[in-house]
């Protein structure tokens, strides 16, 4: 069994507001997109980083940059690339726990949709995906609504 932590954060691209942002492969309407060279899905980026923590091959960075230059901006593709490494090593994901910090968007109404999306992407059951969200009482830029930060813990066997 191995455990890894993943993290990512992005500011909102207010210049393109109103728009929509992606979190865990789920679209949140009426919230600006993230400022990023990809679709900016901070949830999928955090999970990709957690997978990289297990496989010891960083996907976000040179690999994702090459993919982005080739026109691949979908964060699901970056996660799929990381999951290939995990499979090659013979590991299987058993659980994912996420905590999301931000004032917006409101995560609660879409928690189940996010769990279903993540479970499908990772090939695990929905009851093996835990999601919590907080505003952090507005103590950080995320809690003040300027962006979103995600931490996750990934457990593999």
- Contact predicate 23/42, CB 8 Å: yes
Q: At 108, is the secondary structure helix, strand, or coil?
A: helix
Q: Coil, strand or helix: which one is 68? A: helix
Find out whether the peptide bond into 18 is cis, omega within 30 degrees of 0. yes
**Tens digits of residue pLDDT in 92-115:** 999 999 999 999 999 999 999 999
> In the prediction, which pLDDT does 39 show?
93
**pTM score, two decimals?**
0.96
- Which ranges of the chain would DSSP assign to H, the alpha helix? 42-55, 62-69, 75-88, 111-122
What confidence tens digit (pLDDT) does each residue in 58-72 have?
A: 999 999 999 999 999
Q: Is the pLDDT of residue 18 over 80?
A: no
Structure token pair of residue 31: 């919230």
d(CA 45, CA 109): 21
Q: Taking a C-beta distance cutoff of 8 angstroms, is the pair 114, 23 a contact? A: yes
């Amino acid at each position: 069994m191995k455990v890894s932590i993943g993290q990512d954060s992005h500011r909102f691209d207010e210049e393109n507001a109103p728009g929509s942002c992606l979190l865990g492969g789920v679209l949140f309407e009426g919230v600006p997109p993230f400022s990023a060279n990809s679709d900016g899905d901070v949830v999928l980026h955090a999970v990709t980083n957690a997978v990289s923590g297990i496989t010891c091959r960083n996907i976000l960075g040179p690999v994702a940059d090459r993919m982005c230059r080739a026109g691949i901006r979908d964060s699901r593709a970056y996660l799929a690339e990381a999951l290939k490494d995990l499979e090659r090593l013979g590991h299987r994901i058993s659980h994912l726990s996420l905590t999301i910090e931000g004032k917006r968007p409101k995560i609660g109404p879409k928690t189940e949709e996010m769990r279903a999306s993540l479970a499908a992407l990772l090939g695990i059951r929905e009851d093996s995906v835990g999601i919590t969200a907080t505003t952090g009482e507005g103590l950080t830029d995320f809690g003040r609504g300027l962006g979103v930060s995600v931490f996750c813990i990934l457990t593999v066997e």
